[in-house]
Amino acid sequence: MNNNRLVVLILGVVSCTLVPLDASAQQVDPQEELQRAIAALDSTETERALVLFRELMTSGDEELPTSIAATAHAHMALAFWSLRQRDSARVHMATAVRTDPFYDLDDALNPDLLWAFHRTRQRTPAVGLRIPADTVLDPFLDSLPLMIAVGRPDAVVVQLRRLDSDGGDSLITTRSVSRVIIVPISLATGEALGLDRGDYRLTAEYSRPDQGRAESHVDMRIVQVGSDTVLHERPLGADVFRPEWKKSPVSVGSIVGGLIVGGAVAAIPYVAWSNELGDPESGGSVVIGGTIALAGVLGSVLGRDNVIDHQNIDFNQQMIHDWTQRNNATAVENQKRLRLGPLRIRVQNGR
């Protein structure tokens, strides 16, 4: 009996130990936790709502998304305001503004609370910067919209830095912002981001940091969208080129010399009558002389040396030059089409 009780006790202890471990191993959805806390606050369970908000802010190793964190701080401010803890409420109001300068309260809330929130906003240095998360723009027709939000109204400077090179910051624009404004930035001329592909960082900060420093940045990647290009000419074939070597001109003196030698061989027997070769009826000397003459002529024609044909070389070089010029013009046209083609801008990260 005692052994059975001991076993039950051990199993109870083990089960009590495993349950928290299993619960902690479960992934908690921050959005669901936020909605639970807001629901508790709407149900006037203020203390329980504050506990849930604190658990949301401290649970998990990863930083909460900006929108969730700002919403949580704003609702904690509502909870403390309802408990008449005004200082704590204003602390969370300021934190909500710094976390997300774009965040704003519902106009249907208590007017005193709204006034306190807006008053706190105007005293809190905070800058927010947003651009479309993924967009394709024609650099000569479209503009990139920059959304800038501030807590304390002041002038804001927007700068650009290329992350994959050693270039410094370049000024994009300076605007006076009282709450939220949208600034269209041209990608082609004037206030230009530049058309080169690469990784960039847009930074917005107060122009007078001595009055309170705050900044926000967005990392983005600019890539070229494919455009229709012109096809290059095919390489020149061997059949379009002329031969660059030719036979030397036929020497008239060589031909005449061959004929003279052949004629002499044919004529000598007739003159000398030294043997039967000179017999007119046999014609042997004529055959021999003709053969020698023909051999001399063929030797003069076929035995010519090879010489460079400068005219054909000039023709071939001109063909290559013209082909290269046409392909270079095609390459320039393609680069122009690509450079002037649409740009895709994708946000990598930001805060």
Q: Are the C-beta atoms of residues 233 and 326 closer than 8 Å to each other?
A: yes
End-to-end CA distance of the chain: 64
Residue-wise pLDDT tens digits, 194-207? 556 788 889 999 98
| Domains of the chain with bracketed CATH | 27-123 (1.25.40.10), 127-229+341-350 (2.60.40.10), 249-304 (no CATH)
Residue 229's Cβ-side half-sphere holds a number of Cα atoms within 13 Å equal to 17
Residue 312, classed as helix, strand or coil, is helix
Residue 20's pLDDT is 46
Taking alpha carbons only, the member of 74, 82, 81 closest to residue 53 is 74
Q: Are the C-beta atoms of residues 150 and 120 closer than 8 Å to each other?
A: no
Identify the segments of the chain with pLDDT beneath 50: 1-2, 4-25, 189-192, 277-278
φ, ψ for residue 249, nearest 5 deg: -60, 150
Residue 18's pLDDT is 43
Q: How far is CA 329 from the centre of its chain?
A: 24
Residue 169's pLDDT is 66
Residue 228's pLDDT is 63
Quick one: tokens of 146? 């920059």
Contacts of 153 (CB under 8 A, 6+ apart): 122, 176, 177, 178, 179
Distance (Å, whole) CA 18 – CA 11: 10
